Amino acid sequence: MAKVSFDGRNGRIRSNVTKDAPKEQRSVGDVVRELKEGMKKPAGEDYRERSIAIHGLVCGRCGREFDHTNRHILTVHHKDGNHQNNPPDGSNWENLCAYCHEDIHSREVLGEYFDGGPGGKDVAVVYRDDAPPKGLSSLGAKLQEAMMRKKK
């Protein structure tokens, strides 16, 4: 490390250079390996790529097909709303384009509105343990109940 000092009387700058201890030399392969290890995602966070490998580059709702140029528009929807539930067989995932994914989540907010719940952007449904009713989707059931209440 260099030590620099300034002599105010004569306007001179003095520098003393001391050698640091030699650094450990690493091979290029070791450096690359270390960088790749740092870029790996924690276990369970690579579900997007696994879902695409299982379900393909197709939206599960509208059927739009994707390729390597527009695959960033394809998202993974967790059917039960629990982002921690990532089974290896992909049974909780559904590949949806960004438009269909937004539509599904906005319908949940609409269903809560008709149900008399809080609704709105403030509420985020992350996980619900209750099973959807048989036959109709949870949105369909909520809409049907809301229509019946309005008829009364």
Beta bridge partners of 2: 17
Q: Summarize pLDDT for 3-16 with one digit per residue, the tens.
A: 666 665 666 666 66
Choose the weakest-confidence range: 49-63, 78-92, 107-121.
107-121
Greatest Cα pair distance, the chain, in angstroms, is 99
- What are the angstrom distances between the C-alpha of 28 and each of 25, 32, 57? 10, 6, 36
Query: Given a cut of 60, is residue 147 above it in pLDDT?
Result: yes
pLDDT (0 to 100) of residue 129? 47
Nearest to 107 by CA among 137, 84, 131: 137
Query: Given a cut of 90, is residue 74 above it in pLDDT?
Result: yes
- What are the angstrom distances between the C-alpha of 148 and each of 111, 125, 145? 14, 25, 5
pLDDT (0 to 100) of residue 149? 81
* Distance between CA atoms of residues 23 and 25, nearest Å: 6
* Distance between CA atoms of residues 60 and 95, nearest Å: 6
- What are the angstrom distances between the C-alpha of 142 and each of 3, 137, 146? 75, 9, 6
Q: Summarize pLDDT for 118-144 with one digit per residue, the tens.
A: 544 454 555 454 555 455 566 777 777
High-pLDDT (> 70) share of the chain, %: 64
pTM of the model: 0.48
pLDDT (0 to 100) of residue 60? 92
Please report, for the chain, the start and end positions of each structural domain, with discontinuous segments joined by +.
Answer: 43-151
